[in-house]
Amino acid sequence: MKEMKKYIIALLTVVSFTILSCSESFLELPLQQAVENSEALTNLEDFESSITGLYNEISGSEYYGRYMLLIPDVMADDVKQNAQANRIEDYAEHIVRVSDGDANSLWTTMYAGINGANAIINSEVVVPDAVQDEQNHIIGEAYALRGLIYFDMVRFFAQHYTFTADASHLGVPIVLEFDSTGEPSRNSVNEVYNQVISDMTMAISLMDSDSRSGNSNTLSSTSVKALLARVYLYKEDWSNAEAMATDVIGSGEYNLVSNANYYDLWTNDNSSESIFEISMTEADNVGGGGLAGLYLPEIFGDYLPSNDVVSLYETEDARLSTFEEDPLLIGEFAPYRMIKYPDINGFDNVKVIRLAEVYLIRAEARAELGTNVAGAQDDLDAVHQRAVAAAADNADTGDALDDAIFLERRLELAFEGQRLWDLMRKKMDVVRTNCTSQTCLIPYASETVILPIPQNETDVNPNIEQNPGY
């Protein structure tokens, strides 16, 4: 009995994720479950189990396993619905309702992850000096993951950072400690970004600076810098975006996959270019619930690449290997499938951030700063000439350089969940050409480009304000 009790205590933090995910709201834990998860942490092994549980929590199909990448893409212009599509079609048509189950799943899963991270961060367990660095690294991972989750949340449920001049518009509630009776209001987008930056900066200070040793499934201090570079880019803090990206590129830990081996990015896990990716294994049992299921005809095949984005690639572009002609597609749906996620069993690791994106972050930051235009051109060339080996060196400046970098982001990061937010931060409309949707133009600042606060949340929390239009 004592051994069984010890086992249950050690797994309490992991199990709490499941409890939270099944709750009506992240605020609605029954009293008998309302025990601070940090109390379950008694030794280093408990910390290791807890951080593993946190990685597992964000890998599910309701988060990084599918919807984190798919929802923002179907809401933009690179993805179109197949004729028989019947999954998240309300997102593609921009008619999501407050009762939407997928928005609710995102919300509750994200706060479940935040709760798990808080448990690790707030634990007061003292471990022996011999394993102090290991504990600090795990706590650093928890800070980084909490920052990542808040960054994802504020993009889904709030307008982009520069929507208001001081980012004072509504973001999401910042919850840093367990409180079973809490009814938090929404913090501003600026406050959420400050929290994200604080968490990721703290993570870097706590984490081991050693190389990832060929494993991008867990976070290192360098991979957190890559994520932080993305955050600074979205904030338009160009100096810090450039600095973080430079640290990552200069670390020497990552290398772009070659032109000849480009498609290996999508068939192999932990490539030399992958900075952070979510592990998807047989044990996860994703099956058709993963990204592959929504793109591949062997499963659901609900979504297809739009012909207009495919037409933007040069004929010798190695990235065309991520498209495959399907002779069964007819009419306006012909002829391509997207095969960045080729495993029908859903075992493809989900790429969160790659070195190619870091080059493009630095290129954009340098172009915006205007102090190293040649460096911006070189960074753009690193990505473009990897894809098109015979391409000439870039010689654009000013707006033309900005446009070239923006186009390269579209081509390189297509179907990786970034297009919608790139359009938003650039204050651009979503324009769907050769449109198969009922909604072919979504104007910039439309209320439908962000998700509703789930009705389950607003029903139990009188202090949380709903997004306009819902």
Write out the DSSP string of 27-91: T---GGG---GGGG--SHHHHHHHHHHHHHHHTSTTTTTTHHHHHHHHTSSSEEE-TT--SSHHH
CA dihedral 349, 353, 357, 362 (to 10 degrees): -160
Tokens 């810098």 correspond to 225
Q: How far apart are CA 119 and CA 15, in angstroms?
A: 13
Q: What pLDDT is attached to residue 74?
A: 94
**Length of the chain in terms of residues written:** 470
Q: What pLDDT is attached to residue 244?
A: 98
Residue of 248, 207, 254 lying closest to 227 (CA atoms) = 248
Q: Are 259 and 389 in contact (CB under 8 A)?
A: yes
1-185 under CATH 3.40.30.10, yes or no: no
pTM (2 decimals)?
0.91
Q: What pLDDT is attached to residue 20?
A: 39
Residue of 341, 38, 304 lying closest to 176 (CA atoms) = 38
Q: SS3 for 223?
A: helix
Tokens 């909490």 correspond to 146
Q: How far apart are CA 293 and CA 65, in angstroms?
A: 11
Question: Crossing angle of helices 12-22/101-122, nearest 10°?
Answer: 150
Q: SS3 for 356?
A: helix
Distances (CA, A) of 328 to 84, 117, 336: 13, 46, 10
Q: Are 303 and 85 in contact (CB under 8 A)?
A: yes
Per-residue pLDDT of the chain (470 residues; tens, 9 = 90+): 333 222 222 333 333 443 333 334 444 433 223 334 556 688 999 999 999 999 999 999 899 999 999 999 999 999 988 877 788 899 999 999 999 999 999 999 999 999 999 999 999 999 999 999 999 999 999 999 999 999 999 999 999 999 999 999 999 999 999 887 889 999 999 999 999 999 999 999 999 876 445 689 999 999 999 999 999 999 999 999 999 999 999 999 999 999 999 999 999 999 999 999 999 877 766 777 789 999 999 989 899 999 889 999 999 999 999 999 999 888 777 799 999 999 988 888 999 999 999 999 999 999 999 999 999 999 999 999 999 999 999 999 999 999 999 999 999 999 999 999 999 999 999 999 878 778 999 999 999 999 999 999 999 999 999 999 99
What is the DSSP code string of 271-307? -TTEEEEE---GGG--GGGSHHHHH-TTTT--EEE-H
Q: Are 224 and 251 in contact (CB under 8 A)?
A: no
Q: What pLDDT is attached to residue 21?
A: 37
Phi and psi based region of residue 384 (left: phi greater than 0; alpha: psi -120 to 50; beta: remaining): alpha
> Please, what sign has the CA dihedral across residues 113, 226, 259, 322?
positive
Beta pairing, strands 274-278 & 441-442 = unpaired
Beta pairing, strands 79-81 & 303-305 = antiparallel
Residue of 70, 232, 234, 236 lying closest to 155 (CA atoms) = 234
Q: How far apart are CA 14 and CA 49, in angstroms?
A: 7
